[in-house]
């Protein structure tokens, strides 16, 4: 769906790029309104002839035709810069509502990894409780205090859990569903 022109890789480091020829990206807000301003986070939507028609499990499903009509809502949260290059900032499902505030779990993980020398950590949770999973018990308390300071949320919204290992899949991505067992 997207590509980063090679001559722009250094200038646009971290960007997923722009839509492939024949495709188009846009960002939408929680009300499905198109976001036009740069540097505003929204859900990434792709338009193009290469979007799948949908999923079929029977002949009846095939008769439906094109379910998506060339539009694919990715579930990725992204922002666009002033040049029209897109940057993924997280997943839509990786947000919590804590005391009425929307908190991006991917942002929390990034902040902690930068502040704590790329520590092997994970953030998860459910509304009104953010869990910080880590390997070093001494650092977990500091991480909690750091997020309290950065988010300005009450410390009661955070819980730390020491693990022997953060669960990762074969490609190195954190397996967040394996952390759900720790939620109270």
Domain match, 7 and 72 both: yes
Domain match, 78 and 144 both: no
The boundaries of the domain holding residue 41 are: 2-91
Domain match, 107 and 163 both: yes
What's the CA gap between 62 and 31, in Å, rounded? 30
Q: What is the pLDDT of residue 58?
A: 83
Domain match, 175 and 99 both: yes
Residue range 159-180: mean pLDDT, rounded: 93
Domain match, 85 and 106 both: no
Q: What is the pLDDT of residue 70?
A: 84
Predicted confidence band at 163 (pLDDT cuts at 50, 70, 90)?
A: very high
Domain match, 72 and 116 both: no
Domain match, 82 and 113 both: no
Domain count, the chain: 2
Domain match, 10 and 84 both: yes
Task: Look up the CATH number of the domain holding residue 173.
Answer: 3.30.300.30
What length does the chain have?
184
Q: What is the pLDDT of residue 68?
A: 78
Residue 124 has pLDDT above 90, yes or no: yes
Task: Look up the CATH number of the domain holding residue 56.
Answer: 2.30.38.10
Domain match, 106 and 31 both: no
Q: What is the pLDDT of residue 25?
A: 98
Show which of 91, 120, 141 is a domain's final residue. Answer: 91
Burial annotation 21-59 (CB, 10 A radius, 16+ → b, else e): eebebbbeeeeeeebeeeeebbbbbbbbeebeeeeeeee
Average pLDDT of the residues of the chain: 91
Asked if 153 and 101 count as a contact pair (C-beta separation under 8 A), the reply is yes
How do residues 60-95 score in pLDDT, each as one tens digit? 877 887 777 889 998 888 999 999 999 988 777 788
Domain match, 29 and 105 both: no
Show which of 91, 115, 144 is a domain's final residue. Answer: 91
Domain match, 144 and 175 both: yes
Show which of 60, 91, 122 is a domain's final residue. Answer: 91
Domain match, 141 and 156 both: yes
Predicted confidence band at 111 (pLDDT cuts at 50, 70, 90)?
A: very high
**Which ranges of 13-98 does DSSP label H, i.e. alpha helix?**
59-64
Residue 20 has pLDDT above 80, yes or no: yes
Predicted confidence band at 56 (pLDDT cuts at 50, 70, 90)?
A: confident
């Amino acid at each position: 769906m997207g590509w980063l022109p090679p001559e722009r890789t250094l200038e646009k480091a971290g960007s997923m790029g722009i839509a492939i020829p024949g495709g188009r990206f846009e960002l939408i807000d929680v009300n499905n309104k198109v976001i036009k301003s740069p540097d505003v986070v929204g859900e990434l939507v792709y338009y193009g002839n290469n979007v799948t028609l949908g999923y079929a499990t029977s002949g009846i499903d095939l008769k439906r035709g094109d379910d998506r009509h060339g539009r694919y809502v990715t579930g990725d949260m992204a922002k666009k810069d002033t040049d029209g290059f897109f940057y993924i900032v997280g997943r839509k499902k990786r947000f919590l509502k804590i005391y009425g505030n929307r908190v991006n779990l991917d942002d929390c993980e990034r902040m902690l990894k930068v502040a704590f020398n790329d520590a092997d950590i994970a953030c998860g949770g459910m509304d009104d409780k953010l869990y910080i999973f880590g390997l070093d018990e001494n650092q977990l308390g500091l991480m909690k205090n750091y997020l309290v300071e950065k988010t300005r949320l009450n410390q009661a919204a955070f819980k730390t859990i020491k693990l022997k290992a953060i669960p990762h899949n074969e490609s190195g991505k954190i397996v967040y569903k394996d952390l759900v067992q720790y939620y109270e």
